[in-house]
Amino acid sequence: MSTTDTPHYKRALAIERGLNFIYKTACEPENFELYGFDYLGCFQGIASTSKDVQLRRRARQMGQRLASLWRRQNPNVPGHANAEDIINLIFGSFASDCLGARDDQIKEQLRKATRNFTAHDYFGFDPAIEPPTPNLPIECCCGTLDERGQKRCTKCKRRLKMMGRYTVWRDALIRTYTSERYGVSLGASYIDALKWLPVMRPYPRPGNGDKSDFYDAVYAVTHVAYTLNGYSCYQLSPRWLPFEYAFLKQNLSQAIEMNDPDIMGEFLDSLKSLGLNENHPLIRKGVSYLLRSQNQDGSWGEIAVDDIYQRYHPTWTAIDGLRDYAWRGTRLCFPKVAPLLKGKVNNDEATQRN
C-alpha cells in the first residue's frame, strides 16, 4: 500500500482541503461581515485541540489573520447594539483573545453593555427559573423578530414558525458557556442552562413524529458534550452522560440515511470525546461516509445554497469528525456542574487528569 492509499493520508488530505475551503470563504468580505465571529470559533477550536501539529499551526495562522481583521472591524460596542449583536461580539472577542488578538477595552465595554438586556433578551426564556420554551418565534421572512408566544408577525401578519425547545436549549448552553468562559454575564449562568438536562430527556427517536425534533435534539446533545468538554479539550466519562451516550451511539447511522455530513461530524467528535477510538465500528463507519461525501471543492454539504453558513459549517463539523484530538485528560470544563450529572461525579473525579 502506497502512502497516499493509507487511511491516515486520506483523512489528512480531506481535512486540508476542507480547511482551505473554509478559509477561502472567510476571506470574502460579505461572508466575514455576516459570520466573522463564527469563523473565528472554527479556526480557534481546530488550532487549540488538534493532535496534528501541522494542522494546529495552519489553523492558528489562518485564525490569527482573521482575528486581526475582526478586531479592526469591531473596535467598540456600537451604541445601537441589540442583544444578538452583543452575543456575536462576545463570541468573536472570546475566539480572538484565544488566538492572541486580545482586547481588554472591548471586554469592559461588553461587560457594561450586557446589562442593558435581560436573560429573556439573550435566550428567549430565563434559564434560572424556567425550562426551555417551545413557543419562541423564528425571525419572520420580512425581517421582524416577534416576541415569545406571538403566532403571527406583527408587521406582515404571516404565520410564524416556532423554534423547537431543543434549539432554544442548545443556544442557551452555547451562550452561557461562551459568556462565562469570556468573563461576562448574560443574566443566567451555564449551570442555569444545564440544570434542565433531566427535563429534556428522553430524546426523540428519528421515526417518531416530526423529524425536525430529532434533528434539533441531536444538536442539543452534541452541545451538551461540547460545553462540558470545553469544545473538545477534554474527554468525558460515559457514566456522566449515559442517556446522551446511548442516544449518540444508537442514532449515528441516521446521519448517513439523511445524507447529512454536518450532523455526522458532530456525532463523531462527541463520541470520540466520550471514549470511542478510531477503530470503533461506529467511528470507522462515520469516517468512511465523510471521506466519500466530500465535494470536489473541498467542502461538505449542499453546494446549491444561498447562505454561506450552510457551506462552511458542514465543512467545519466534518473536519472535526475526521481529525484526531490532543485530549487534556478526562474532566469537566466546569467541575462545579458535576452534581447535575447522572453519574454522581465527585469533584475529584471531575477534575482528574490522565
pLDDT averaged over every residue in the chain: 92
pLDDT computed for residue 162 by the predictor: 73
At 352, the pLDDT band (50, 70, 90 cuts) reads very low
Q: What is the pLDDT of residue 342?
A: 66
The tens digit of pLDDT for each residue in 151-172 reads 788 878 788 787 899 999 999 9
Range 103-112 average pLDDT? 98
pLDDT at 344 over 90: no
> Which residues are bridge partners to 50 per DSSP?
325
Query: Cβ(42)–Cβ(48) under 8 Å?
Result: no
Q: What is the pLDDT of residues 172-217, one digit of tens each?
A: 999 999 999 999 999 999 999 999 999 999 999 987 666 789 999 9
3 pLDDT above the threshold of 80: no
Average pLDDT over residues 100-115: 98
pLDDT at 193: 98
Mean pLDDT of 22-34: 98
Per the DSSP assignment, residues forming a β-bridge with 330 are 235
What is the pLDDT at residue 6? 80
Angle at which helices 309-322 and 7-26 cross, to 10° = 150
Q: Look up residue 247 and give its three cell numbers.
A: 442516544
How many CA atoms lie within 13 Å of 302's alpha carbon, on the beta-carbon side?
Answer: 10
Which residue from 181, 185, 160 is spatially nearest to 231, judged by alpha carbons? 181
Output the pTM of the full model: 0.93
Diameter of the chain by CA atoms?
64
pLDDT for the residue 146: 67
d(CA 313, CA 318): 8
pLDDT of residue 346: 47
Dist CA 170 CA 131 (whole Å): 12
Please, are residues 314 and 323 in contact by the beta-carbon 8 Å criterion? no
Contact 315, 298 (CB under 8 A): yes
Residue 354 confidence (pLDDT) above 80: no
SS3 232: coil
**Rounded mean pLDDT of 131-145?**
81
| C-alpha closest to that of 294 among 273, 322, 272 | 322
Least confident span in 22-31, 122-131, 339-348: 339-348
At residue 334, the pLDDT reads 96
pLDDT for res 209: 61
CA dihedral 311, 175, 244, 201 (to 10 degrees): -120
Q: Out of 1-5, 59-63, 133-137, which region has the weakest mean confidence (pLDDT)?
A: 1-5
Q: Give which of 172, 180, 158, 166 is closest to 134, Cα–Cα.
A: 166
Angle at which helices 261-273 and 281-293 cross, to 10°: 150
Q: Which residues pair with 152 in a beta bridge?
A: 159
Across the strands, what pairs with 163? 136
Has residue 138 got a pLDDT over 80?
Answer: no
